[in-house]
Amino acid sequence: VLKKQPEKWQLLIEPESLNICFWHVPSKARGLPPGKERDQLLDEATLKIRRALQVAGKCLVNYSDLPGVHGHFFRMISCNPNATKGDMDFVINH
């Protein structure tokens, strides 16, 4: 899902395990070149979205950061054998 919408989602690195690190790219950041302004918008969006999902009780998605390199990004570890594509789509769509 993330790779099919590169204008909306950006992987931090290509997943090599169950750990998927990504940003939601807000409309204000789309088209901006890599750099401090874009990184700040991605960081702010990550924190805002995570908090909104948590407060609404929809889901709890982990996040992390690389101080001095990148701001906050979503960090999902998908190791639940009972998780369905629908479950993953729910998280991404919200």
Phi, psi torsion values for 58, nearest 5 degrees: -80, -50
pLDDT of 37: 93
Residues of the chain with pLDDT under 50: none
Phi, psi of 81, rounded to the nearest 5 degrees: -65, -15
Torsion 74-44-1-65 (CA) sign: negative
Q: What is residue 86's predicted lDDT score, i.e. its pLDDT?
A: 86
What is the reported pLDDT for 90? 84
Task: Give the pLDDT of residue 83.
Answer: 82
